[in-house]
Structure 1
Amino acid sequence: MYVRIFAAVWLLVCALLAVVAWGFQAPFSYDPVGPRAYPLLLLLLMAAAAVWLLVKPGEAEDLPISWSLARKVALFIGGLFAYALLFEPLGFVLSTALAGFGLGLLFNGRPLPSLLSGVLMGTLLYGLFDYLLDVPLPMGLLAILEN
């Protein structure tokens, strides 16, 4: 029952956010697909998952909701919120590396592999977006390395 309630509420949130995202306009064209494509795609995927949970939740009804799981979910949401707040001041590479490291530890990863995966994720995704896809990302504290 809780899964269906969550899915219905999440579907409503996705619909409301899609209305907001539909109005995204860029004052200049910096991206060939525009600023609304990425959020709309994510909202479409989340809405599809919510519909699936509404129609056929499977064995999720039998899963107990524990305090440790609720704590991990709250820490995960807090980590994503911190990532959004630190994105511009620290820059894409550092904020992504910190988020990858913290979320790796949250999911019981060892510190060194979590750190390495966070740093690799930040640098490789920056290279993908900035050099291959030509999407400018903030450098933040690493702006001193630019020529």
Structure 2
Amino acid sequence: MYVRLFAATWLLFCAGLAVLAWGFQAPFAYDPVGPRAYPLLLLTLMAAGSLWLLVKPGLREQKLDSSSALRSVLCMLTLLAYALLFESLGFIISTALGTFALGLLFTGRLLPCAISGVLMGVLLYGLFDYLLDVPLPLGLFEAFVES
């Protein structure tokens, strides 16, 4: 019951944020995608997940134990740390660390989580910066890049 209540609340939250994100306007075109595409994509994915939680059969049998609650709190703290360190560490390092930490939270092994974290940071940076022309912060790597 609490999961469905959370899912319904989160769905309403996503709808409200989508209304706000729809009005995002950039005073200048800093990237070809525009400022509203990324938040709307994330909100669509979160809303789809909320809908799945609302209609998923067998949801009533699931219980929230202390281990799952702790893992959820650690996941939120990891995402908060990712957002706070994004500009200072840069996209590549913060994404690698965030992916590594989330992989370990979901019972991944140490070496595969480290490898996938580094690959995720480097490959996503290449995708966004070189293919989509979306500038991302380099953070600590800025000293190595010539302007």
Q: What's the TM-score, normalizing by structure 1?
A: 0.92
Correspondence for 1:137: 136
CA deviations over 1:72-109 (Å, ceiling 9, x no partner): 01100100000000000000000001101111111111
TM-score in terms of structure 2 length: 0.92
Residue 22 in structure 1 maps to residue 22 in structure 2: yes
Alpha-carbon separation, structure 1, partners of 2:94 and 2:52: 33
Which runs of structure 2 are paired with 1:33-44 in the superposition (5 Å)? 33-44=33-44
| Cα distance change of structure 1 residues 97 and 49 upon mapping to structure 2, 3 Å threshold | closer
Contact 1:3 1:57 in 2 (8 A): no
Q: Residues 107 and 45 from structure 1, CA distance in 2 versus in 1: closer, same or farther, beyond 3 angstroms?
A: closer
One-letter amino acid of the counterpart of residue 49, structure 2: A
CA deviation string 1:49-73 (max 9, x = no partner): 323433x231111111110000001
Tell me the distance in 2 between the aligned counterparts of 1:97 and 1:50. 27
**Contact 1:25 1:35 survives alignment (8 Å):** yes
Judge conservation of contact 1:2–1:61 (CA < 8 Å) in 2: no
Work out whether residues 98 and 117 of structure 2, in 8 Å CA contact, stay in contact via their aligned partners in 1.
yes
1:61-76 mapped onto 2 (5 Å cutoff) = 61-76=60-75
d(CA) in 2 for partners of 1:2 and 1:94? 36
**Partners in 1 of 2:52 and 2:111 — Cα distance?**
37
Who is 2:102 aligned against? 103
The Cα RMSD (Å) is: 1.3
Contact 1:24 1:35 in 2 (8 A): yes
Question: Percent identical across equivalent pairs?
Answer: 65
Letter in 2 for 1:3: V
69 and 93 in structure 1: CA distance in 2 versus 1, 3 angstrom threshold: same
8 Å contact from structure 2 (residues 31, 135) kept in 1: no
Q: Quote the offset at 1:31 in angstroms.
A: 2.0
Query: Could you say what secondary structure the match of 1:34 adopts?
Result: coil
Shift, 1:116, TM fit: 1.2
Q: Distance in 2 between matches of 1:104 and 1:53?
A: 22
* Bigger Cα displacement from structure 2, 127-136 vs 18-27: 18-27
| Count of residues in Structure 1 that have an aligned counterpart in Structure 2 | 146
